[in-house]
Structure 1
Amino acid sequence: MAGRHFESVCIFHILDGLRDGLSHFSQPSRVALIYCTEHGGAPRIYDPQDLLRGHEPKLRDFYLYSARWRGVPIDSPEVVFLDQDHYNRLDMAGVVAYGARTRSVAYQVWFTEEHPDMCSLGPTKRWMEYAVRLFSQNYETEDVTNIDAAGYMLQHCAVHAVRDYLVDERSRLGWLDTQIRVYPFLDAVLGISATREEGAWPRGRMVVVEPNQLDQVRFICRFPDYERPQMADHKHVRKLLQAVERSGRVLVSDGRTVMGIAIGPMPGAYLAAQFSGMHGFLWLKDEMVCSFSDGSFNSSNRRANLVQVEEQLLETDMSLEDQHSLMQIATMLVNRVRDLRHGCALVLDLHREPLNMAGQHFETPLNLTDSGQLKLACSLAKVDGALHIGRDLKLHGFGCLMDGRSVPGENRARGARFNSALRFTAEHEDILVVVVSSDRPVSLIRNGVELTAQCRFEHIRGCPTPPLLAEWIMG
């Protein structure tokens, strides 16, 4: 198999594998490719799910009205990755781009979505780097038997992408001569996170410090050489975490064993894992790299994205100060509920006079701008029913019932809280309902419509020949 047909098959399998892998590491993700196999040739595009639709003017100016993107021909077998200035000139909001020039493929840039809750773009870019290399290698060899394996490999690269990003960043910070083995550390993090102790999920912080910098660590206690737990002994390390949970203390490791318990700042480009029950976060010094749960890494920072709530509040006649305060209150309540993994509903009542909702009320509504009363509201969210919050930034009731007549768009898979919110908002204007499910999804509902509903992307089918970019732009 050769020529344009092999090119199409090669791109299809690599792109689909990359899309599937990134969709599991992040939210559902689309992927696109702009490439040119020969220096001086016309650029082509493969965008089966319309990721780049809406960016046509910028793509036209960058690729068709200018030749700066072409660079110089590559004659050596090395991969020459594009510099940051290249992506800055593309300047496509909400899109992550990564590409290179090689001898076999003169130019290629892969694109995917930049989700608003991503901890870091680093692992995603390392993932896209694998796609760059696989496309160049397979296109040069034209061996069809390798293509399926290339696509499959890209579906399962989370640990490798996180590891490579950590190694690259530590090298950039000057830690080329390192004694820390990153793979065993990542394996220990996932193993410990899945290990319960007397029914409890792990909590606490564990850091890995370069062995030659351990003398700069403020140890409270150190373990003798022959009694240091091995990082690979997940059960033993999990037990030790109980000594540092809910405190300023941390377990300190050299990457192979647990050296002891310490407090205070850590030296160098240390690695850290923060265990927070059923999930946790991976850090490189002060940078959050990714989260982890259920035995796998994820790009999410696990914070609720309430941008739609902010957009809805901007359309009201509330003062900017009150809008900001109400947004902060909603964010605090939602994130607290998500952390405790129980569901709730927030009724944001934008009427000048709050509705009279059935539920438990107060003699004097709680002032949610007061931190103590806001914490009380977080606890009241555990009670069945909704929290009724007025535009006056006060909690007027809890355990409130949202009733109404059946409306189109109800989804029995989403439960009573979600469907009740659809019915209630369909019958009451100027009401926003934020529904937090116990399994973490957050929905915003107004006028009987879910504003946060995600589009279902069509599956990629077949291996069509990627069109010329100029033809694609012309529609």
Structure 2
Amino acid sequence: MIDQKHASFIRRCVSDIINGLTDGLTHFSGPSRAAVIFAPQPDSPMLLCDPQNLLKGHEPIFKSLYVDNQQWRVNDKVPRDRKQFADILPIKDPGLAGLLSNGGYSGSVFFQQWFTEHHPDLCSIGPTECWLEHAAWRFSHDMANDRDLYTGISGYFLREYATHAVRDHIIDQMNLLLGWDSPVRIFPVLDAVLMISETREEGSWPEGRLLVVDPCMLDRLDFLVRFQEGIRPQLINYKHVRKLLLTVERSGRHLVSDGRSILGICGDSLPPFSLCADFRGRHGFLKVNRNKVCSFADGRFSSTTYQAKLVYLEELLLETAMDRSDSYFLFKIVISLVHHSQQRKHGCTVVLDLNERPVAISGQNLSPPLDLRKPYMLKMAKSLAKVDGALHIGSDMHLHGFACLLDGRSFPGEDLARGARYNSALRFTAEHAHIIVVVVSSDRPVSVIHQGVDVHGSCTWDHKGGCVYNLDRLDYWVGI
């Protein structure tokens, strides 16, 4: 039986960690929630803390796994000593749709499992899983120390954990492919990548690829140029490295480093393990063996792919009365226009007019409209997207106009922090039915706007940061 003081201590531990997770993951991946289920002892009831209703809708699965079935209480491998908090026996991810999880058994917390959202545009789930793994470790640590030694610092650790999460995932991959004795230190490499990414050369942002390779793998590289050993530029000298990136800019070549200095220039063939920083101007990507780990921009790491997946647009089109094949083809047309605009680094606006008869919009009206199902017409539309104003596309998959001006009256849903293109789309969709507007900004993610609301930007949960949350019994929560 848990006394009231100890129950209050547990609530505070859980709340601090959830607040830290929520804040940290929101900066890394966009608006994020966190939740946990746990049982302090083998005979304790399973408890739940879900302040933003992240787990809502999954009640039947939790009932099946942890209420109807009590097998989770039986685990002979769990340490009996509560001070063995660092030895966490991992548990299987239940595979809940739209969620990522991590947890396990330990001496201080018999069972725990932490959850967060699986955003659709993650470069990799690896850093987020490492984040959740560290949350489990912090909770075990706090519970082992008990309230007399509790510092309340776990939430702050998790709030600032982005670089550590990226590093932990890279180390996990390195250990799998190289073993445990690699001399490459990842933190200095990550610091150098961020510093180089913010360094302009004659006004231009860095482009090119920096390859970090374990010294034992150097003989597997096809070196085109090798620098003399005594005068090799140090990786920490980021201004010098930024200049050397010019030698591999917009090519298939790599600048090669062993994590300490720049060794030379190699071709595109890679060893069994490599870490690549792919600089693409204002942003870039970290890759392990060509697989994206995360992106970086503005001096920090994030999870975004910088590639519009437009899942929200796809969902809106599926909810319309359009034929499935037509909605799919219209979706592919928009995807093609958006990706082209992003690659050329110019903004554009696409108006999807799903009315039976397209609405009248001021602009360059086309007669006859261009059939975007024809590749050469779609290519023409990509060129027209460069002109200020919006493309006007009907449900017939024809381009009815370009350089269109979207007007509308001001309303409370506007975002004054955004530009005219974005707010014009908000106003226009607020006043016209069956209109979806896709806004591509040169410096922001793609926005899908419908009925005066940014579908991606709208938040369906109330962030309650800084609170101490209540704990619910899982069997009551699932409706027993």
Tell me if TM exceeds 0.5.
yes
Structure 1 contact 357–400 (Cα < 8 Å) conserved: yes
Aligned residue runs from structure 1 range 155-234, under 5 A = 155-234=159-238
Offset at residue 3 of structure 1 (A): 1.5
| Alpha-carbon distance in structure 2 between the residues aligned to 1:410 and 1:187 | 38
Matched residue type, 1:295: G
198-207 or 175-184, larger mean C-alpha shift: 175-184
- Aligned-partner SS, 1:147: coil
Q: TM-score, normalised by structure 2?
A: 0.90
Matched residue type, 1:15: I
Aligned residue runs from structure 1 range 75-474, under 5 A = 75=80, 77=84, 78-83=86-91, 86-87=92-93, 90-143=94-147, 146-316=150-320, 318-339=322-343, 342-351=346-355, 354-362=358-366, 365-369=369-373, 374-406=378-410, 409-455=413-459, 457-474=462-479
Do the aligned partners of residues 434 and 474 (structure 1) sit closer, same or farther apart at CA in structure 2, a change above 3 Å counting?
Answer: same
Offset at residue 2 of structure 1 (A): 5.0
Which structure 1 residue ranges, 4+ long, deviate > 6 Å from structure 2? none
Matched residue type, 1:298: S
Offset at residue 361 of structure 1 (A): 4.3
Q: TM-score, normalised by structure 1?
A: 0.91
2:42 equivalent to 1:65: no
Matched residue type, 2:89: F
Q: CA RMSD in A?
A: 2.5
Structure 1 contact 341–440 (Cα < 8 Å) conserved: no
300-309 or 341-350, larger mean C-alpha shift: 341-350
| Alpha-carbon distance in structure 2 between the residues aligned to 1:289 and 1:470 | 38
Matched residue type, 1:457: D
Do the aligned partners of residues 243 and 378 (structure 1) sit closer, same or farther apart at CA in structure 2, a change above 3 Å counting?
Answer: farther
- Runs (5+) with no aligned partner, structure 2: none
What is the CA deviation profile of residues 85-109 of structure 1, one whole-angstrom value per residue up to 9, with x for unaligned ones?
A: x32xx33111111001111111111
Do the aligned partners of residues 11 and 404 (structure 1) sit closer, same or farther apart at CA in structure 2, a change above 3 Å counting?
Answer: closer
- Runs (5+) with no aligned partner, structure 1: none
Offset at residue 392 of structure 1 (A): 4.0
What is the CA deviation profile of residues 107-158 of structure 1, one whole-angstrom value per residue up to 9, with x for unaligned ones?
A: 1111111111111111111111221111111111124564322221111111
261-270 or 173-182, larger mean C-alpha shift: 173-182
Number of residue pairs the alignment of both structures matches: 471
Match of 2:32 in 1: 29
- Aligned-partner SS, 2:478: helix
2:15 equivalent to 1:12: yes
| Alpha-carbon distance in structure 1 between the residues aligned to 2:372 and 2:186 | 45
Offset at residue 228 of structure 1 (A): 1.5
Match of 2:79 in 1: 74
| Alpha-carbon distance in structure 2 between the residues aligned to 1:342 and 1:367 | 24
Matched residue type, 2:477: W
Do the aligned partners of residues 10 and 314 (structure 1) sit closer, same or farther apart at CA in structure 2, a change above 3 Å counting?
Answer: closer
| Alpha-carbon distance in structure 1 between the residues aligned to 2:116 and 2:253 | 39
Matched residue type, 1:82: P
What is the CA deviation profile of residues 309-353 of structure 1, one whole-angstrom value per residue up to 9, with x for unaligned ones?
A: 222323445554443332222123223434555432101233455
Match of 1:49 in 2: 52
Percent of pairs with identical residues: 47
Offset at residue 355 of structure 1 (A): 4.3
Offset at residue 293 of structure 1 (A): 0.7
| Alpha-carbon distance in structure 1 between the residues aligned to 2:380 and 2:477 | 56
Offset at residue 467 of structure 1 (A): 2.1
234-243 or 216-225, larger mean C-alpha shift: 216-225
| Alpha-carbon distance in structure 2 between the residues aligned to 1:34 and 1:124 | 18
| Alpha-carbon distance in structure 2 between the residues aligned to 1:427 and 1:161 | 44
Offset at residue 232 of structure 1 (A): 0.7
